[in-house]
A and B are shown apart, each in its own frame.
Chain A
């Protein structure tokens, strides 16, 4: 172990790691942050949408110099069958406010900026340094890390695991189990470049306005999954994700789904003529409340994706990551300022703070949703979108059929596909999971 010791080592420089390192350094702790990528963000491939509120708590004036793409003024939810989509669009000029609430960002650039703030706060940030294992004493207490560099062992009072969704270090050290296949989604994404004017015309945007499309339906071939399209300044992030367990069961391929999504008539026109610059794949924690592992122990805490903190319903991941990182840092600071050791009992403070925050409250609210959507995947992602599409065609096509007859046809199609008990049951289950 090298001679120099740190108060805290943060493993990973994504949203959670940066939030933790920034907060710790600002609180005057001696922080070492280790990132395996070439720079913070270099390994990141997220979409991505940034919510202002949680970042404002860390960098109040981030709008001044953060690399933001577009602020969102329009949200579209699509229910798709093979040839159509039924959409719910919400667009409001009120989103054109002075301090917008949501932005699209490109994480590779955003994280680089975030990392600069961490360095300015006084943390030592080492990139291209992979942590191979956690160092533990005879009692299992985490006392430092071993990196891939020469003489690469370094000690600290506490290690903040912000290593991302796979949680390899924690698993390897026996602190937690590998995430379950039915609790993680595999998402694939492409970056499509288009001239700014073309992009703005296609999505009906002016200036820095942005739009988001989120789509479910036959595109996921009956699996629990979602497609997304985000507008950046002069590119579109487009992708689709489904549960790993479902991919395994159906034998579908992620790139197959992505191709199908891109070729859908509602999507193809939006990306026509674009230049594809990036193809990426990543895991997303989707298990919600029930999948959260042990969050703290002797000498360690886990934050962000590594802690499976992701709200699948509202598609908030980085929000929860930033908040958990910040709260873990605050807890460590409080323990440190009392001159108490970083024991499991003391670090329970982090969990307590997290429980009191929106993070756990939200995840608890939707605790039954992942199971429902997974077990009922066929209905929610295949049957209903097709029924809705049929109903819309039936409603809109004028062909001399009396309207009452049309309504009956639509109702019968729902009954035939799902039976009255099934329909009422689904509505009930959905409402209960939403409660």
Chain B
């Protein structure tokens, strides 16, 4: 069984400062960590490998310094780590990121065997979009199982996987064909401490580094800033909303009256946001 886990190195958001004048994130000196949601994906992959054998490959796209996070992922016991790093990848939005990752996963498939499962975390703590997992699945033509809270059963011979998926209304029990992409929910497992042997192996491991060309990118215009239609027009810090509760007298028409009263008291935050974004 070959499992690829997509992981991102992110700034530790608990330690980020926002520049008081420009409202941009001050990244300087902020420590980087493995996106905490991705840790659950890594652990789940390692558990499946424990059960069914095979290999776990960790994939990330980022600056050369992302090697630190990959090495850490290896210390948990993963078999290999691939770092997509190239200045052409810089400034990518989710669309360009999924293009690069999907290309690299194809290449990983060719080099180390096609993956049965591609794991991602629920979302990143810096971008918070939760778009990259589904985007990668779409590009690779994989079935996507998002917000998975439990893997019930894997039948390797039949190529089937049973999972539980958290949805708005409750829990869905799904059966899917493999290969598939699974974005895993937080809190579904607990990250292990790697053994001393794994830690030693990780400290000495060679991280596989691929440029856009190495990864087999055909259209460089789809990568990085050039391949990103998302444009940040303006960044602003909303004022903190005052915390206070108010009791509303509803009279005899609870339903409609309630909605009406709510609209009258449209939260200050939203009207402010509306003003700030007007004209874009």
Contacts and interface: CB of A to CB of B under 8 A. Distances in A.
Nearest to A154: B196
Contacts of B194: 149-150
A124 B204 contact: yes
A398 interface: no
B203 A151 contact: no
Contacts of B17: 277
A147 B197 CA distance: 12
A125 interface: yes
A4 B200 contact: yes
B196 A147 contact: yes
B195 interface: yes
A4 B196 CA distance: 11
A283 to B, nearest CB: 24
Contacts of A4: 200
A129 B17 CA distance: 29
B193 A149 contact: yes
A152 B195 contact: yes
B127 interface: no
A148 interface: yes
Interface size, A (range): 10 to 19
Interface string A141-159: 0000001111111100000
B39 to A, nearest CB: 13
Contact of B196 (A109, A152, A277): A152
Nearest to B203: A124
A151 B199 contact: no
A2 B196 contact: yes
A359 B194 CA distance: 39
A338 B134 CA distance: 62
A255 to B, nearest CB: 22
A44 B66 CA distance: 23
Contacts of A372: none
B197 A126 contact: no
Contacts of B197: 2, 151
B193 A126 contact: no
B228 to A, nearest CB: 31
Given A149-B193, A149-B195, A151-B195, A109 B200 contact: no
Nearest to A33: B203
Nearest to A42: B31
B254 interface: no
Interface string B177-203: 000000000000000011111011001
A354 B247 CA distance: 75
Nearest to B202: A126
Interface string B218-255: 00000000000000000000000000000000000000
Nearest to A195: B20
Contacts of A149: 193-196, 199
B199 to A, nearest CB: 5
Contacts of A150: 193-196
Contact of B199 (A42, A129, A153, A277): A129
Contact of B29 (A32, A109, A126): A109
Contacts of A277: 17
Nearest to A67: B29
B196 to A, nearest CB: 4
Contacts of A42: 31
Interface string A269-303: 00000000100000000000000000000000000
A129 B196 contact: yes
Contacts of B29: 109
Interface string A6-50: 000000000000000000000000001000000000100000000
12 contacts: A2-B200, A32-B200, A42-B31, A124-B200, A126-B196, A126-B203, A148-B193, A149-B195, A149-B196, A150-B193, A151-B197, A277-B17
Given A129-B199, A277-B17, 10 more contacts: A2-B196, A32-B200, A124-B200, A124-B204, A126-B196, A126-B203, A149-B193, A151-B195, A151-B196, A152-B195
Top 8 A-B residue pairs of the complex, sorted by shortest distance between their CB atoms = A150-B195, A149-B196, A152-B196, A124-B203, A126-B199, A151-B195, A149-B195, A151-B196
